[in-house]
Amino acid sequence: MRTPIIAGNWKMHNTIAAALELVKGIHYGLPWPGEVEVIVAPPTTAISKVADFLQDSYIQVAGQDLFWEESGAYTGEISGTLLQDAGASAVIIGHSERRQYFHETDATVNKKIKAALALQLMPIVCVGETLAEREAGQVTEVVRTQILEGLAGLTTAEVTDLVIAYEPIWAIGTGKTATPQQAEDVHVIIRHIIAEQFGNDAADAVRILYGGSVKPANSKELLSLPNVDGALVGGASLKAADFIEIIKSVS
Ligand code: PGA
């Protein structure tokens, strides 16, 4: 039984005050969501205040990225240890915006996943194809490479502990969502890749979230798919009412 996850990726939005207002809206608007894990990923500057507010809440806090070294002369970087110190228990890794704008590769994603796992910071690892790759029929190939290289060297137990987010790049922030069939198909492919590489137990246990223009109007359908174990929500996670609607649509 895979417990669903609804995670909100706030990206580079919200001052500390705005972040607190948003998280209060979610916390008080939905006192107990039942069997679903809820995670918010504020910008780094707001993590500590948000985590302090959520100390006794069911909502967990994630970082949006980390660097693989624990400490040192790496100006501008944030380590897993520092994220944990601020109150995070999870971290998004390899988001397509990091890959596109900050030159992250499957090799750096791999180092980041290992660093997070070593600290028991739950990695939410993002994979997904561009529109050109989809149109060229390369979805399986692209996702396979991202998973095999990103998860290289991990044990079955480690794969079980992480979360994969399938986010077709053409659906992120565009208002275009994958159809339920498109999402389910790729989630099945991802589970097969995990099974081949890490065994059936890992494939059965690993949670695979869908991301890309998830909103209240489409979340019920997407979240009812057998291989979709939750959602990574960008834009719609910035409004408490919309995020709550999405959480409630987990059946
Ligand atoms: P979106 O973003 O929901 O705004 O499309 C999703 C994401 O980037 O994680």
Torsion of CA 168, 79, 18, 57, to 10 degrees: 90
Q: Residue 224: its pLDDT value, please? A: 96
User: Each residue of 145-158: b (16+ CB within 10 Å) or e?
Assistant: ebbeebbeebebeb
The one-letter amino acid at 49: K
Task: Note the pLDDT of residue 1.
Answer: 83
Report which of 44, 31, 169 is spatially closest to residue 97, judged by C-alpha positions.
169
Nearest-atom index, ligand 1, CA of 9: 9
Q: What CATH superfamily is the domain 5-248?
A: Aldolase class I (3.20.20.70)
Using the mean position of ligand 1's atoms as its centre, give its distance from the Cα of residue 213 in Å: 6
Nearest CA to ligand 1 atom 9: 234
169: Cβ below 6 Å to ligand 1?
no
- Give kind and range of the element (H or E) at residue 198: helix 180-198
Closest Cα to atom 6 of ligand 1 = 234
For residue 215, give the ligand 1 atom closest to its CA: 3
pTM above 0.75, yes or no: yes
Ligand 1 atom closest to the CA of 237, numbered from 1: 3
The rounded average pLDDT for each run of 10 residues, N- to C-terminus, in the chain (251 residues) is 96 98 97 92 98 96 98 98 98 98 98 98 98 96 98 97 97 91 98 98 97 96 97 98 97 69
> Is residue 192 flagged as an active site residue?
no
Q: How many residues does the chain have?
A: 251
The whole-number pLDDT of residue 101 equals 97
List all residues 6 or more positions away from 193 whose beta carbon is below 8 Å from its beta carbon: 143, 144, 147, 148
User: How many angstroms is it from 135 CA to the middle of ligand 1?
Assistant: 21
| Ligand 1 near 242 CB (within 6 A) | no
Measuring CA to CA, which residue among 31, 21, 8 is closest to residue 243? 8
What pLDDT, on a 0 to 100 scale, did the predictor assign at position 33? 84
Confidence (pLDDT) at 156: 96
- Between the CA of 64 and the centroid of ligand 1 the distance, in Å, is 12
Q: How far is ligand 1, taken at its centre, from the CA of residue 219, in Å?
A: 13
